[in-house]
Amino acid sequence: MDARRVINIVWPAFIIGGIANVVFFTMFDPLDLNLYGRQLAGSRLAVYTVGFFCFWAMAAASSALTCFFQRSVGQINR
């Protein structure tokens, strides 16, 4: 995979991850979130950080799938 394709996947995912983080944590307080009945450990900053990386990973997976499905028949059958 060339550098241009990686940038085309990671950069938009970074922006969407940031936007999703802002929108999600505007509606939900990190200290009120529970996982399997237990409060998420850590400070608000830790929950914001983990949330951002999760949103970034999901957006990167979406962008990577878009690039994967944009391949032509000639590229697939090489």
| Residue bearing tokens 């999703």 | 20
Mean pLDDT of the chain: 90
Report whether 33 contacts 47 (CB < 8 A): yes
pLDDT at residue 1 greater than cutoff 70 = no
| Residue bearing tokens 């394709």 | 5
Report whether 64 contacts 10 (CB < 8 A): no
Whole-number Å distance between alpha carbons of 64 and 62? 5
pLDDT value, residue 5: 86
Of 42, 48, 53, nearest to 22 by C-alpha is 48
pLDDT in tens, 36-67: 988 877 788 999 999 999 999 999 999 999 98
Whole-number Å distance between alpha carbons of 41 and 30? 10
pLDDT value, residue 27: 95
pLDDT at residue 14 greater than cutoff 90 = yes
